[in-house]
Structures are given as structure tokens and as C-alpha cells.
Amino acid sequence: MKIWQRAVLGVFLVVAGINLAFWFWVTDRTCAGDNLTIDVPSHRVHPTNCHGTIHYLTPFENTLLHWLIPGQLVLLIGLSTLKRRWSNISS
């Protein structure tokens, strides 16, 4: 495998790791006790359920909560496709 191919795979892995870290951060903040009421000045208006309690999220947190895992799947599928394609070319 060429050096630039390893660099691209490394970038994919780093981005996938950052994506997973953000997902853990958002899920941790979702169940934190500081967002139990609607707070219009801080834009906490999106309700979500966490262990039977309704918590309110900002639009950014709500978007991250819904789109980080599909993004992770796309990254991992792209990573496996590139790795398989490059291994077929080099052999």
C-alpha cells in the first residue's frame, strides 16, 4: 500500500474517531441534569427522552444526536470500500 493511501486511511480513521467521540459527548450531555426545562435564550427547545425524563436540546445537539451515527456508518463503509479496492489494485 502506498504512503498516500495509508494517509487517506489514517484520515478516515481519525475522522471516524472524532465522530464517535462527539456522539458520546452528545449522549452524555443529553442525560445531564442541567437541561430539564425549555430555555429559549439558550435555544434549548428540542425535547428528547432520557431514561424516562424529558430533556431539552439545542438545535446543534439535536442535529448531532440524529446524524452522527449515520455519518459514522458512511465513513466506515467508505473506509472498507477504499481498503478493499486498493488491496485488489496492488495485488
The pLDDT-based confidence of 87 (bands split at 50, 70, 90) is confident
Q: Got the DSSP string for 37-71? A: S-BTTTTB-EEEEETTEEEEE-HHHHHHHHHHHHH
Phi, psi of 34 (to 5 degrees): -95, 5
Cβ–Cβ contacts within 10 Å for residue 19, how many? 19
Q: What pLDDT, in 10s, does the model give residues 25-81?
A: 888 878 876 767 777 777 888 888 888 888 888 888 889 888 988 988 998 898 888
CA distances from 41 to 11, 32, 37 (A): 37, 19, 12
Residue ranges covered by each domain of the chain: 9-90
Q: What is the pTM of this model?
A: 0.70
* Alpha-carbon distances of 32 from 39, 40, 41, 79, rounded to whole Å: 15, 18, 19, 33
Tell me, what's the pLDDT at 18?
A: 92
> Looking at residue 90, what is its pLDDT?
61
Instruction: Give residue 80's pLDDT.
Output: 86
Q: Is the pLDDT of residue 91 over 60?
A: no
The label of the residue with cell 458512511 reads 74
* 89 vs 31 pLDDT, higher one: 31
DSSP state of 31: T
